[in-house]
Amino acid sequence: MILPALVLDTGNSFTHAAVFSGDAVIDISSLPTQSLENEIEARKLVERILHDHPDVCHAAVCSVVPSVGGLLRRVLGGILSGSVIDISSSLKLPFSLNYNPPSAFGADRLAFCSFCSSFFSKGPVIAIDIGTAITFDVLVPNEGYFGGLIMPGLDMMSAVLHDRTAKLPRVKVTGPVALLGRSTAECMKSGVFWGCVKQIEGLLKDIRHVLAEKNGQHDVKIIATGGSSRLVASSLQESILVDDQAVLKGAKVLLDLNVEEAW
């Protein structure tokens, strides 16, 4: 019998909770991470999920917000009969992590890379998480983690323009915008959105060049996830696979690797 498993992905803006049956997501919900900063709300979330899925035994918490991640682990540990794992570099991984120090590699990046390594293992993969920050992580077969980079996301770019100037307003990019604006807000949205798109296109081109030059790798898979991934990917010239649940699926991969009991 395959028992359902719970995975919680706590990001800077939102927390996503997914119940898995094997590799399939059978239930998913999201709420603002800020709402989980006290034990009462964290317990309400867990109890609601377990009310609908009482057979859940094991869980994984993938968090980039230490206080919320720790709270969720404590709540789960006090309720579940099985294991509750924290996604970190101390776990058994499906790829070699060449990073200094390994403990500084974010939980969301670990889960995303685990997903890519497990489901797209035949060639090099560029994993792009387009959220509050934008991360690029490159995996190469038989070598593991090849390298990566971190840059500001759309909201962060917008916030800096507002916070570091006297008169520029705060804007939010919620959809593709014209290349050239005709108001201050339109110009800011255009600069943020198209600046991000062109940065990503240029970086992908350069990463492809490095992989071809150093490893002779030309057939590169590009996977994107994160809150702004579909918005940005829709305007990229590159062919990209977008998977909104990649971090959740990667955390489930790590849960399976690190819990001894058969599912």
- CB neighbourhood size of 251 (10 A): 31
- CA gap 115, 127 in Å, rounded: 10
Q: Which residue has the tokens 């840059």?
A: 151
Q: Report helix angle 184-215 to 154-163, nearest 10.
A: 130
Which residue matches tokens 């709270």?
71
Q: Determine the straight-line distance between the first and last CA of the chain, rounded to whole angstroms.
A: 7
CA distance 49 to 59: 12
Q: 215, 207 in Cβ contact below 8 A?
A: no
Cβ atoms 169, 188 nearer than 8 A = yes
Among 108, 137, 155, 256, which one carries the catalytic annotation? 108
User: Over the Cα atoms of the chain, what is R_g?
Assistant: 19
Please work out, in degrees rounded to the nearest 5, the angle formed at the alpha carbon of residue 190 by the alpha carbons of 185 and 191: 100
Catalytic: 163?
no
> Hey, which residues are catalytic here?
108
